[in-house]
Amino acid sequence: MKKTRILYLGLILALVSACGPSEKTKQLMQDAKTSFGILPEKMPGSEKDTPARIALGEKLYFEKRLSINDSQSCSSCHGTLGKSAGVDNLPTSPGALGKNGDRNSPTSLNAGFHFVQFWDGRAADLKAQAKGPILNPVEMAMPSEAAVEKKLSEIPEYVDLFAKAFPDQDKKITYDNLAEAIAAFERTLITRDRFDEFQAGNHRALTSEEQKGLETFLSAGCIQCHNGPLLGGNSFRKLGQVNPYENTTDVGRSAITKNDAEKYFFKVPSLRNIALTAPYFHDGKVATLPEAVKKMAYLQLGKELSSEEVDSIVSFLKALSDKNRSN
């Protein structure tokens, strides 16, 4: 009798699972596609990338000899191996000479989809971004482009790799080519998550709790800033639109533009993989995702979210983690 009951319950569960989505879920799936759009298959600029250029860029990304004392690589602050999500999970990162930078290291995953690079947008694309840290005195601290080229030219392996990656150029090892190669590798760092599957029509890709979190995310107004396929990464916004942020040391975008109207403006971070990239904000001063959600609602929307609303949104955000990196 007991065995029959178990079989009967199993049959019911199988039938329920086989059923299609409810009308409410169908509408939510449609709202998700309309509100955010679909993450493209390839990054802008990848059409010119070759296997040789990507292979060179990958080696350079992990190359500590690009720093003044052979201690620091791109990967030191933007780890991508294993479960690493393109960050080092530190508030701010130590450089080659031991001094920490002023800002939290943003993830390199999906970075080529962003409309600009760095928190303040001072680099237009991945190639321009790759040139910055190597010469930054606080980061990798190399003295000049020429010094970088000389160092690489004395390594036979790189002489060969640059020749393969840039066969049509007279001078192979240049700082410009180095940056182009690193950018080519970074253009492969595209992540895929269960939210992509949900948007593509798999209603079971998100749990009922995560679907509720998506609804809360939309209704609370988070989408005002975190929109587009990356759920961010496509605009500048003032941190503290409604209520001021307590850290006023970093003026953000206005340090670049010299425009006081852009004081405390920063690039809106993408929420893809956000559950894996703690701590949060440009200064890395917010330790946990629930704290970040609650604080952002207060700062940007003037809303005091309940614990239930925070937990609901966090459950959705966790579904944005790359399937190969999430636990």
Span 264-283, mean pLDDT?
98
Report helix angle 307-318 to 208-220, nearest 10. 110
Q: What is the pLDDT of residue 21?
A: 85
Span 175-196, mean pLDDT?
98
Residues 6 or more apart whose Cβ sits within 8 Å of residue 103: 92, 119, 250, 282, 283, 284
Catalytic residue among 58, 63, 139, 180: 139
Q: What is the pLDDT of residue 147?
A: 98
Using the CB atoms, write b or e for 277-290: b if 16+ within 10 Å: bbbbbbbbbbeebb
Q: Are 100 and 174 in contact (CB under 8 A)?
A: no
- Residues 321, 323: Cα–Cα separation, whole Å: 6
Q: Residue 18: is its pLDDT beyond 60?
A: no
Span 156-177, mean pLDDT?
98
139 is catalytic: yes
Q: What average pLDDT does the structure give for the chain?
A: 94
Q: What is the pLDDT of residues 277-298, one digit of tens each?
A: 999 999 999 999 999 999 999 9
